[in-house]
Structure 1
């Protein structure tokens, strides 16, 4: 339709030189509507991209309230400017990126999970020159279907941002049996990667909720009746593919034995356990993770933060009334 050279030339005249579309039309001996179409084509082809730069201030009162109620080391709450998931995840991811840029030092080992929230956060990472940093995948990320978990891309983006050595756990995260999982974990290369994960002083992970639309379910790790049983056992969420109930305890020990990756109890021993969770539907999963003491740092949005406080108070009131 239009050549790349033509799109670049018109785009540079319009966006860089500041000529009007009419002036470009006269200069290039084409019609003004044609100039407009060429500019649209340049955007569609990715020749022209836009970035809105804006300071992102967190919501201090909600941060203080969540820190106090949940006894957390740090909480960062992004304001909801546009109430759509993609915009919210982008803004929360930007806050997380800024924090990691300050936190990560030479010699650190960063353990990461994968999922939708981490996908958005990884895209926001800024380049930071660090020495001898390692980035390791905390749970297996190979899908059993054509559905992509995005684990490899997230690992690559973290490694690129911190000029780090990546360690991929290139196996399925949930196996068919405990015996198969045990056999895989006996492999020397997998044992080595899992040891690096346990050594990580920084862990960054999303909090998943039990839903038929969850990444783990869509990736083909469960048959329909298996997921039904998991819900019946009271599972409210997962971290690093390990499922837990509202009280923070593992909801299915047999499933846990079939899972490849960091044990949840290992998170309690790390210096920085950073969770990212957005969406009011994830509140029960966050509350279960709080009770399990699986994170000490939380990144979320203001709508989720308010619902967290509301549901936390409701749970506490119900427990008092039961006594």
Structure 2
């Protein structure tokens, strides 16, 4: 797709309707065509859609000379051609640029998020828009029956799980973190595991444990065979789908086990799988985090396909730091967030 522009010549410089000497310039004299003649040839050809033969007839010259006139008109700026990429090409360019900037394997862009209606936020409308893009990322992971797909808790993953994803029959789906004591549905990792398994035709594996058990309960949970069965799946994961949390002390919604009064969390800019990290992507611990039943950040680096799904400008620092830490190698987001990320990276 392209647009062209002809630069209008001053009224006094326009040629008469039957210009003389249009054929008088030889090939070696093409650069000496009068500007008014170049303009008239370009106007006939580009604006009035005349063929080169028709232009030649109107100007009383040959088609070869018309071709030279049009080339010279472009060279001298009388005709300017603008190549306008179609939407799908522009989106592809944005995703490629962002993937390079974040050092990721790929960035998968969804359609733009719709404007939420009255009393609603982008959280209420993002699931249906992000789900097809998440489905494409999961399809590209090449998972086979028996492969392990880990899923995190969080509002974004929960909303995506309400919609159809890629068919992955026989894949083992397991949570990355405990959370059966959390009141919000999006922190109930077993519920998200069930939903995702249903959407991909996989087999759910449930983790019946709180995310942060007390000191007395923690060792007994680790020795429980039903808990061990899920924990032993983690090192064999082929893929992980995770949300990216915004800075913990700036969030209105956060799991109840997170001690927001902890001074160490002031350094945290985000989390994946309830594991927090700072701006450099380094882990941030808090009191009791040694008892957290969740996939370790270091373990995420060794999973072949790690897909983060996140939207919103409040997560820009979180996404950048998570990518910097190597906790995910793919990102699913919307064009607005992608553009904001790229602008931020280019300005820093």
TM-score (norm 2): 0.66
* Corresponding position of 2:323: 290
CA, structure 1 residues 117+186, in 2 after alignment: closer, same or farther (shift >3 Å)?
same
Structure-to-structure mapping, 1:164-313, within 5 angstroms: 164-177=202-215, 180-209=217-246, 210=248, 211-216=250-255, 220-223=256-259, 225-226=261-262, 229-232=263-266, 234-252=267-285, 254-313=287-346
Q: Distance in 2 between matches of 1:206 and 1:223?
A: 20
Aligned residues: 251
| 8 Å contact from structure 2 (residues 106, 331) kept in 1 | yes
Q: Secondary structure at the match of 1:215?
A: coil
Q: Distance in 1 between matches of 2:184 and 2:195?
A: 20
CA, structure 1 residues 223+297, in 2 after alignment: closer, same or farther (shift >3 Å)?
closer
* Corresponding position of 2:107: 75
More helix by share: 1
* Corresponding position of 1:39: none
Q: Distance in 1 between matches of 2:125 and 2:251?
A: 23
Shift of 1:78: 2.0
Structure-to-structure mapping, 1:6-25, within 5 angstroms: none
CA, structure 1 residues 239+128, in 2 after alignment: closer, same or farther (shift >3 Å)?
same
| Higher-Rg member (1/2) | 2
TM-score (norm 1): 0.71
Q: Secondary structure at the match of 2:96?
A: helix
Selected match of 2:164 from 125, 131, 140:
125
* Corresponding position of 1:114: 153
What value does the CA root-mean-square deviation take over the aligned residues? 2.4
Structure 1 runs not aligned, ≥5 long:
1-55, 316-323
Q: Distance in 1 between matches of 2:218 and 2:339?
A: 40
